[in-house]
Structure formats: structure tokens, C-alpha cells
Amino acid sequence: MSDAPGLRAIDGLQLDDEHRAVLKPGAEVPFADGVVHSLPRFFYEVPSWQAAHEIEVAAHFKLSELLMVDCREAPLQLRQFPHHVPCAIVLLARYLELFRIKAGAPVFVAANGGYRSPSHRLNHRESMHQWATAANIYRVGDTYLDDEAAIQKYARIANSIGDEVFVRPYAQGDDHLHMDIGVVTLTPRELNEVKP
Ligand SMILES: [Zn+2]
């Protein structure tokens, strides 16, 4: 898992100040229920958009599909390469692949519906998108997930993958299915976990 093709893994704590300010590697996030979780520390370095479009993180998912960046992103993350994505992105991709198999149709992730850095303006404090373990799915095959019946149908399929999969219950006005695998981080085996 640590050797996604063409991707170099790095320790976010060794990035420069500017990148650490955007990515907040290892930063503690207090959740409303009183527990504290640490943001991802280890990232893959994405050298260019071309690379993101070429790299398959699972059989049917390109890295670029899970790593879209828009004007709500922090300027540094928007304009400069390399970009950084938590290593757990490869695990998210495996779950999306499983979901695709169970759904029996192609799965489409919304723009900004994969990894979002902690500096992205769409994130709330507890957003699993900051861990790269969440995906917003807006379409499965020819079905758009913009009504209760469609969202509930595919929510059941996502839930059937395993207890670790969380699916946000339908709320009025939803236009996607949010699915995540919780607070999961991945340490590439070649990287040192002792803090610098
Ligand atoms: Zn979401």
C-alpha cells in the first residue's frame, strides 16, 4: 500500500512552514463528543495534474478523481505543485472499488468530494474529508443520487461493506451520498514515526 505507483511518500512534519500551515500534519482536532483525533501526518507527493490523472489508486479510480481542488482551497494547495494527499487515500480507493463491485456500476465522486485539506473552506472541524477517508458520491451508473430513494438504496449497499463504513443518513436537499471509513491514517513502512 505504501508504494502507490509513481508516488513518493513524505513526512508532513518535515515540510516547510507554509505547507504545514495548510496541511496541519498530525494536528489535534477536538471533536464535539470530547475525543481528540490527530490529522494525517504522512502524505503522497503529487508532482503534477498530469500525474494525478494517470495514477490509478484502484482499478477504476484515478488519483485526480479523489483530489480535486478549487477556488475554495487554500491558495498554496491550489496553485503550486507538488500537491499532498494523505496516504490513506489508497485505502479510500479500495473501499470505493468494493462499493463499485457491490453496486454493479461505475461510481462518480463529486468535485471536492474526496480529499480536502484542513484549510479547505468546505470542511467543518470533524470532516473526514481531511483524512482522505471520505467520498461524496453523486452518481452510480445512470442514477443521480439526488433523491431519498436513490441515496437510501446506495447507502444500504455501502453499509453492507462493513461496520467501519459510515454513511450519512439522508437529509432533505442532499445531492450526494457521503461515505467514509472514519479516522484512518496510514504510515508508509519506509517512513520513521519518531517525531523530528
Ligand atoms: Zn462528505
Q: Dump pLDDT digits (tens) for 57-72.
A: 999 999 999 987 766 6
pLDDT at position 119 is 87
Mean pLDDT over 108-119 rounds to 92
Which one is the CATH code of 8-180: 3.40.190, 3.30.450, 3.40.50, 3.30.1380? 3.30.1380
The rounded Å distance from CA 71 to ligand 1 centre is 18
Nearest CA-CA partner of 195 in 22, 1, 38:
38
CA 129 to centroid of ligand 1, rounded, Å: 6
The CA-atom distances, in angstroms, between 43 and each of 12, 53, 97, 98, 157 are 6, 18, 21, 23, 30
CA of 190 to the centre of ligand 1 (A): 31
Distance from Cα 107 to the centre of ligand 1, integer Å: 15
Rounded CA separation 50/64 (Å)? 9
Query: For residues 164 and 98, what is the distance between their CA atoms, to the nearest angstrom?
Result: 13
pLDDT digits (tens, 9 = 90+) for 4-45: 557 899 999 999 999 999 999 999 999 999 999 999 999 999
- 152: number of CA atoms within 13 Å, CB side? 6
**Cα-to-centroid distance, 113 and ligand 1 (Å):** 6
* pTM score of the predicted model: 0.93
